[in-house]
């Protein structure tokens, strides 16, 4: 069984299980099904205020879609989490992404 079908089934049976939903989002991203993945990543972001990785993945997805204004706050939140949780590699990556976006326009 492919990963998308597997995790879709798990999410159908346990729709409040964020880990199943996150795994489904990752499988969808791997299949370049960003629109479908976005829905699940947003639910993961909403479910846990301290969950860094879904914010990073959603931010990158939005950047790929040309939606930098939406991506910036997610990436900034992820950066704060990376710093507070001592995740050096994501912190470096996020600082680079945010720097490439340039200053926020008010």
Give the class (CATH, top level) of 3-101: mainly alpha
- pLDDT (0 to 100) of residue 103: 79
Q: What number is the average pLDDT over the span 73-91? A: 97
- Reduced to 3 states (helix: H, G, I; strand: E, B; else coil), residue 10 is helix
The token pair that represents 89 in the structure block: 């590699």
Confidence grade of residue 106 (pLDDT, cut at 50, 70, 90): low
Q: Convert the pLDDT of each residue in 58-80 to its tens digit.
A: 999 999 999 999 999 999 999 99
Q: Convert the pLDDT of each residue in 19-64 to its tens digit.
A: 999 999 999 999 999 999 999 999 999 999 999 999 999 999 999 9
Question: Domain boundaries in the chain?
Answer: 3-101
pTM for this entry: 0.93
Of 41, 47, 44, the residue nearest 59 (C-alpha): 41
């Amino acid at each position: 069984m492919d990963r998308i079908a597997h995790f879709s089934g798990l999410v159908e049976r346990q729709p409040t299980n964020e880990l199943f939903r996150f795994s489904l989002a990752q499988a969808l991203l791997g299949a370049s099904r960003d629109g479908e993945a976005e829905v699940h990543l947003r639910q993961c972001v909403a479910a846990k205020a301290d969950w860094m990785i879904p914010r990073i993945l959603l931010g990158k997805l939005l950047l790929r879609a040309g939606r930098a204004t939406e991506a910036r706050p997610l990436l900034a939140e992820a950066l704060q989490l990376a710093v507070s949780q001592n995740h050096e590699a994501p912190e470096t990556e996020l600082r680079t992404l945010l720097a490439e976006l340039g200053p926020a326009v008010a």
